[in-house]
Amino acid sequence: MKEEAIKRVLTELKAQNNFRKLTPLNKTLINLSSNDYIELGNDENLKKQFFQKAQLKLSSSSSRLMNGSYDEVIRLEKRLQEIYGKEGVVFNSGFSANSSIIKTFYNKNSLIITDQFNHASIYDGIKASGAKFVRYHHLDMNHLEEILKKNREKYDDIVVISETIYSMDGTICDLHQLVQLKKQYHFDLMIDEAHSYGVYGYGLAHKLNLVDKIDFLIIPLGKGGGSVGAYVITTPLFKDYIINKSYEFIYSTANPPINNAWNLFLLEKMPTFSEQRKKLQELSKFFLEILEKHQIHTNSKSHIISIIIGDNQKATFVAEQLKQNGFQIYAIKEPTVPKNTSRLRISLNSTLQKEELLHFTQLLSKKLNSKEKK
């Protein structure tokens, strides 16, 4: 791209109040934007326990097929197999796992049916696969079934892709219903647990006992997993295919031993974090109730709560005002969310206090009702 064209694009984004900048994290604010939902990545006690034992390399210096399959990652994959009852493959990130699984397993002869609000990494894989794809309305199982009815006979190879909890909406998919449709229409099912791992222990599919019904269970670890990397839970056959055919798996330096030792440490401890999970659930319920009392509308049903404002300028203004009053919060705009649905995304974590959420809601209500935009 020529410099002039780049400048034009950036100027246009500024005119739309949609120019992105990096701002250093202000640690003095109350953080309503952390995805470390049960604060595993920040827990001093856990860190102390971990570092007492950890004397680990900070680089793997090699891809998984060479020196990158060190002890810690092999032990981690073995434990994944024991816990989930299927093979585990460790990827370097959720983005690369999602994107790579789709483009490695599906091609121009496949049909990909995807929830319209699925993550950018899923769309990245879809585009790269060259497959035909159809979006179904967000979480609308009737629409999904309509698409399946129309296409089942036309394609040999169909995959349906959904997330469990949606990052920008806080909505939750009906996993039982997806599995039911799979039984009826015989498609592959790929599920992304980025925002439910940790929050539901080993994830929603594990909690509902549905892991064996899902062909690709993707578990990114950068959120409730308190770490980095991703697990792909799948069949032995598919695992072999990944090891032999996934470019992201084969041609990338493996994450360092220290990260996968931490992943293993948290995996073993996951059942013990029930207090944090309970606290997060209570906070979510409390927050949804006080929002309703203040007549602030949200469609969210989980620990992620989105308040749709619509207008970019107003969303930026409200987020800025809340920041000035002590809360770390961001306005989310297109293309992360559809045009004209700019919003405040509040992600709760188990260390927050009810009084903080009460104070936040009172302020939010005032700012939303104010006529000011800047």
Ligand X SMILES: Cc1ncc(COP(=O)(O)O)c(C=O)c1O
Given the rule CB under 6 A, which residues bind ligand X? 93-95, 98, 119, 121, 163, 167, 192, 194, 220, 222, 230
Task: Report the candidate in 119, 105, 349 with the shortest Cα–Cα distance to residue 248.
Answer: 105
Nearer Cβ to ligand X (304/357): 304
Can you say whether the dihedral through the CA atoms of 108, 112, 116, 118 is positive or negative? negative
Nearer Cβ to ligand X (251/354): 251
Least distance in angstroms from the C-beta of 334 to ligand X: 16
Tell me how long the chain is: 374
Nearer Cβ to ligand X (121/246): 121
Least distance in angstroms from the C-beta of 266 to ligand X: 15
Q: Is 300 helix (H, G, I), strand (E, B) or coil?
A: coil
Record the tokens describing residue 176, joined without a space.
């039982």
Nearer Cβ to ligand X (332/364): 332
123 Cβ contact list (under 8 Å, min separation 6):
114
Q: What is the C-alpha separation between 244 and 104, in angstroms, rounded?
A: 10
Least distance in angstroms from the C-beta of 92 to ligand X: 8
Nearer Cβ to ligand X (94/170): 94
Nearer Cβ to ligand X (190/344): 190
Task: Report the candidate in 256, 281, 296 with the shortest Cα–Cα distance to residue 62.
Answer: 256
Q: What is the C-alpha separation between 158 and 106, in angstroms, rounded?
A: 9
Least distance in angstroms from the C-beta of 291 to ligand X: 23
Nearer Cβ to ligand X (162/298): 162
Least distance in angstroms from the C-beta of 222 to ligand X: 4
Record the tokens describing residue 214, joined without a space.
């899902």
Nearer Cβ to ligand X (72/248): 248
Least distance in angstroms from the C-beta of 53 to ligand X: 25
Least distance in angstroms from the C-beta of 98 to ligand X: 5
Nearer Cβ to ligand X (170/220): 220
Least distance in angstroms from the C-beta of 52 to ligand X: 27
Least distance in angstroms from the C-beta of 235 to ligand X: 21
Shortest-Cβ-distance residue relative to ligand X: 94
Nearer Cβ to ligand X (95/273): 95
Q: What is the C-alpha separation between 328 and 193, in angstroms, rounded?
A: 25
Q: What is the C-alpha separation between 211 and 302, in angstroms, rounded?
A: 21
Least distance in angstroms from the C-beta of 11 to ligand X: 28
Record the tokens describing residue 120, joined without a space.
């950018």
Q: Is 157 helix (H, G, I), strand (E, B) or coil?
A: strand
Q: What is the C-alpha separation between 284 and 281, in angstroms, rounded?
A: 5
Q: Is 59 helix (H, G, I), strand (E, B) or coil?
A: coil
